[in-house]
Chain A
Amino acid sequence: MSSIKGQVQVLDPIGLHARPASQIVKLVKESGLEIMIGREGQEFAKANSALRMMALKISTGETLTVEVPTQDQGLADGIIEQIQHFLKGE
């Protein structure tokens, strides 16, 4: 199955820490999709696991790729936009 990719930037001053990670997990679980997240060119982590995402040790300013296994562009855009929102550190 093909998937839709999008990019997000980590703006949170403490990077991808527990709070945004758990917000992402919640969203991913609700979507029921096996969404992956990571640095382009490196191994991705399952976005249903806060621990896996935290283990990537992503710092503020980094750009990440989100991979949503769907062909529904609207759905994918919505999810990626939400994830970007969680990474704003507000």
Chain B
Amino acid sequence: MAAAKGAILKGLGVGLVSAVGDVLVIKQTQPLPAWTKSTKTKEQELTELRSAIDFVSGTLDELGAKAGGTSAEIFEALKMLLEDEELFDVATANIEDGWSAAAAIGKAVDEFSELLGGDPTFEERVADFQDLSKRVQARIAGIEMSLSIPATGRIVLVGEDFSPADTAQFTDAVVGVITYKGGPTSHTAIICRSKSIAAVVSCPEATALESGDRVLVDPVGDRVVVSDDQSLATKSIDFVAINEEPLIPVRANIGSLEDAKAASQTRANGVGLFRTELLYLSAKTEPTIEEQVASYTEILKSAPKGPIVVRTIDAGSDKPVPFLNMPAEENPSLGVRGYRLIADHRGFIESQLKAIEQARAASGREVWVMAPMIATAEEARDFSDLARSIGKYKVGIMVETPSIALIVDQLGGIVDFVSVGTNDLSQYLFAADRMNPSLGALLNHWQPALIKSLARIASGASSAGITSGVCGESASDPAFAVVLAGLGIESVSASKSQVTEVHNALSSLSLSDAKEIANEVLKQTTAEAAKATALSEIAKR
């Protein structure tokens, strides 16, 4: 059943851009049919198999041409595996044995995967190879897979949720994204926000949409409207900056040199979160101090004017650093991650802090350092002592665990600042796995319990004489940034695409207005009411 014209589907909006486009349903969850014996002639099965392989092969060519460079080589190698003559011979033999084309290729790929298995060199290849097998089988079954997103038109992708592999294939034709599941901190949401793609997530009613339906994706209204009328889009609050400077500094989040350069083109006042993982996650061996100093110096020099808050490595067994020994864990987000790595890798964290200190001196920039995943005041003191023995930077910690959120008032004299990572704080506060797409609604930053926690953190920091900031996704929401300022948070750090919006919002009213708005929001008992209250209170000013 197609969705009725004019129907309104409620969800959680991401970003401020709205868009009208044609629905393309991506059925990535549709299971592949079970392998069966053939009901057709052998010639028919062979023809089907050949044409499905050619189709997937062609897609690999297109992807390679689009990607270029090293990625093109990878696609080339994949194509070689898919078109392997022996593979086709084994599949042909399976068809001769009476199997259908899909079963024949599936079994052939399984056979080779087994031959290649057990060798770590080939593990990734085997995974890629199995993915190719699925794509061929999907093609035979007539199931669309995410590889075939058209490059032209105005497309609104609709699906359960999208993985990094999926979002990497978004073409310029993708103007909107709707997911049944997934929350505002899901990978899909983060990508859409950074690319300014209209998106509504956690929209279960969108399962009624069919490919070809024309819809309006209206994130500001937290809804999708089955209509081609762009004028129905909810107007975002047009923040008119009346003050020269925002109520509190608006910084940018960065993770690479490119980010630093792009952020310096915005009105960002420094960097509120410099994620350092990228420098290490792709390295096979530990970079030398000199290499680290060179990378950091270049990035610090390119970053927008203002202080730069550098976070020490935030890795865990789900995003392992190849040169550190990080055994797999049952529950990586509750395991040895972030600062907890110090137990086994003190030398590595010390070398990182040394490199940051040398880069600070070489760049002449104001640098603050902070550690992720701190749970106790004792850990905060341990990090602070270590950092102060190495460098002349301000020292702080991330507030992500509920345990440290409760005792920020006890951190006076230990650290200079705290920075709240609202994505992880929500995950731990609500016991809701960020990776589980069904739990998105709990991770909505308008949840009253999160807002109450932020109020407590702000007042705890103020009584301890330390400064507080927020660097999670929530700080990229202009209306929420106003609430944060009202709660007493002293700086925000947003994705670079949102810096201007957040800057405008925080320059559009007075601190006493922001406080009144925050007080009204604190009275609400649901996420929906909290957001609605914030928007209507802001509109009154």
Contacts and interface: CB of A to CB of B under 8 A. Distances in A.
Interface of A: 14-15, 17-19, 21-22, 25-26, 46, 48-52, 54-55, 57
A52 B121 CA distance: 15
Contacts of A57: 116, 119
Interface in B463-491: none
A19 B112 contact: no
Main secondary structure of the interface of A (DSSP, over half): helix
Interface in B74-122: 76-77, 80-81, 84-87, 112, 115-116, 119, 121-122
Nearest to B125: A18
A26 B86 CA distance: 14
B311 to A, nearest CB: 33
A18 B86 contact: no
A21 B122 CA distance: 12
Interface range for B: 10 to 19
B77 A49 contact: no
Given A19-B77, A25-B80, A52 B122 contact: no
A55 B112 contact: yes
Interface of B: 73, 76-77, 80-81, 84-87, 112, 115-116, 119, 121-122, 125
B85 A48 contact: yes
B121 A49 contact: no
Contact of A51 (B73, B116, B119): B116
Given A14-B121, A15-B121, A17-B122, A51 B81 contact: yes
B116 to A, nearest CB: 6
Contacts of B116: 51, 54-55, 57
A29 B81 CA distance: 14
Given A49-B87, A51-B87, 11 more contacts: A18-B81, A22-B81, A49-B84, A49-B86, A50-B80, A50-B84, A51-B112, A52-B86, A54-B122, A54-B125, A57-B116
A33 B405 CA distance: 70
B122 A49 contact: no
A57 B123 CA distance: 12
Contacts of A50: 80-81, 84
B85 to A, nearest CB: 6
A15 B119 CA distance: 11
Contacts of A52: 86
Contacts of A14: 121
Contacts of A21: 80
Q: Across the A-B interface, give the 6 residue pairs with the lowest CB-CB distance, nearest first.
A: A49-B86, A55-B115, A22-B80, A51-B84, A51-B112, A18-B77
Contact of A22 (B77, B85, B87, B112): B77
